[in-house]
A and B are shown apart, each in its own frame.
Chain A
Amino acid sequence: MSASILTVRGLSVVFSTENNGLHALDSVSFDVNSREFVCVLGPSGSGKTTLLRVLAGLIPPTSGSFTFSGGEQPSIGMVFQQATLMPWRTVTENIGLPLEVGKVNQAVAREKIRDLIELVGLQGFEDSLPRDLSGGMAQRVAIARALIHDPDLLLLDEPFASLDAMTRERMWMELSRIWQARQKTVVMVTHSINESLFLADRVLVFTQRPGKIKMDMEVDLPRPREDDIRYLARFGELARQLRATIE
């Protein structure tokens, strides 16, 4: 494994004004290595989304620190828990937003958008507006948007929660493929033990609020992971271990 790209030390977040001092994250420390795929598992309200928002620079931590190797903020691709599309933009325009913000040449942009639309299986909906998409389709647009500018760090907040089982498993494969091909670092929040075992190098399990790291588990399953990996004895062991920790 290569050097750590992200170092989180003693990170706490207290939402002060509302709910008089609600403690969302309590002294969370972990490292993420370059090109590592980390899943965050934990009960609802344990501060998983809050952690991603801190890492994306959207809210400042109350105490503690996080540093990226190289010192500066990396480019980030974020998938929010809700799709968060711009209702006035078509699918193509929504996916292209990060390129526009980064002032990427239009012809290059068009090419990349076409590739990603194919990847997430939205051919034929290029010019549709978000109001005409199903929840799962909207989420796929959001996933494509997070990937389009080839970010250094992917922050995914339950990106597949609203997809049907078939699409979800296809997206797992695609995400694995992209992650390997493009050498991304990923931090992904999920509620699904299977999902985390399919995708992750490591799984962080959070406690009930305030979120603390209860377990930091290596997923030492072979790669590439295909559908039949769930029949491996090791898969069952890890799943049992996670389930026991989560309760």
Chain B
Amino acid sequence: MYKRLLPIVFSAFVFLLAWSLAARYSGIPNFILPSPLSVWARFLRAVNDGSLAYHTGITLSEIVLGLIAGVTIATILGYLLAKSRSLEKILSPYIVASQAIPVVAIAPLLIIWLGDGILSKAIICALIVFFPVLVNTIVGVRAVPAALYDLMNSLHASRAQILWKVEAPASLPVFLGGMRVGATLSVIGAIVGELVDAQSGLGFLLRVGDFQYDTPMVFVAVFTLIALALMLYGIVRMLENKFLKWQNIS
């Protein structure tokens, strides 16, 4: 553990050092490249006045809502598509076509329709999470070995038993792979929505910081976003470590 952390700590140190030196000696003004210390000071101020927690909370709720909705719908639909070739034939052109529409382009539309609150961002988030989870669910369920179906059928197992005892665990590795991608993308979804129009959230902080030449604030928001994305990624990795111990690689 200690050995694994050491290179990370070291590279962070080098990065911060290079950043300080660049901010100090390059002659770039502070409102374009603030020093690490001024970012740190801005961070403390945002923590103390509660604004950072508030806006992070808003963004996080958008992400969580979007993830829950996107993952639930993608998993159910993905399962149905994996099980029914005819349903797949009917729906897949629409699903593929929908992926050709950049979410960034329809974000303003969604906000016009649904308002600039949490709901529209959660839906943008769900849309962006939807596809990787859908695809991986389909791939995962299709890859369940036919022999295991034979085994369950020879035992007269019910559909529900086949789902929970075979299909779910067998497709979990691929499914969680989709979740890993989806979790990281969900942060982008929320921010895209907030950048278009919002009264709160980290994307709102970004815009305000930009508008007021409060560049340290922009940096604080960006780092918070990175932390959010890493946290979500870490949660999926934790699930993988917990549930995929049976695999050689996890």
Contact = CB atoms under 8 A, between A and B. Distances in A.
Contacts of A57: 153-154
Interface string B31-59: 00000000000000000000000000000
Interface stretch (B72-80, B155-163, B221-229): B155-163
Main SS class of interface, A:
loop
Interface-central residue, A82, A97, A100, A149, by most chain B CB under 10 Å: A97
Interface string B12-26: 000000000000000
Contacts of A82: 147
A45 interface: no
B169 A80 contact: no
Interface in A9-45: none
B248 interface: yes
Interface string B131-161: 0000000000000010110111111110001
B144 to A, nearest CB: 11
A53 interface: yes
A87 B248 CA distance: 11
A98 B157 CA distance: 9
A80 B165 contact: no
B155 A84 contact: no
A58 B246 contact: no
A115 B247 CA distance: 28
Interface in A101-124: 101-102
B46 to A, nearest CB: 45
A59 to B, nearest CB: 9
A86 B148 contact: yes
Contacts of A100: 161, 165
A148 to B, nearest CB: 11
A86 B150 contact: no
B242 to A, nearest CB: 12
B153 A58 contact: yes
A79 to B, nearest CB: 10
A129 B250 CA distance: 15
A131 B246 contact: yes
Interface in A74-97: 75-76, 78, 80, 82, 84, 86-89, 97
B195 interface: no
A52 to B, nearest CB: 9
Nearest to B166: A86
A4 interface: no
A45 B233 CA distance: 49
A86 B155 contact: no
Given A88-B246, A131-B246, A101 B155 contact: yes
A76 B156 CA distance: 9
A56 interface: yes
Contact of B155 (A87, A88, A89, A97): A97
B152 A101 contact: yes
B154 A58 contact: yes
Interface of B: 145, 147-148, 150-157, 161, 165-166, 169-170, 246-248
List the 8 shortest-distance A-B pairs measured between CB atoms, nearest first. Answer: A88-B246, A78-B154, A84-B147, A56-B154, A101-B155, A101-B157, A88-B169, A129-B246
30 contacts: A56-B150, A56-B153, A56-B154, A57-B154, A58-B153, A75-B156, A76-B155, A76-B156, A78-B154, A80-B151, A82-B147, A84-B147, A84-B148, A84-B150, A86-B148, A86-B165, A86-B169, A87-B247, A88-B169, A88-B170, A89-B246, A97-B165, A98-B155, A100-B161, A101-B152, A101-B161, A101-B165, A131-B246, A131-B248, A149-B155
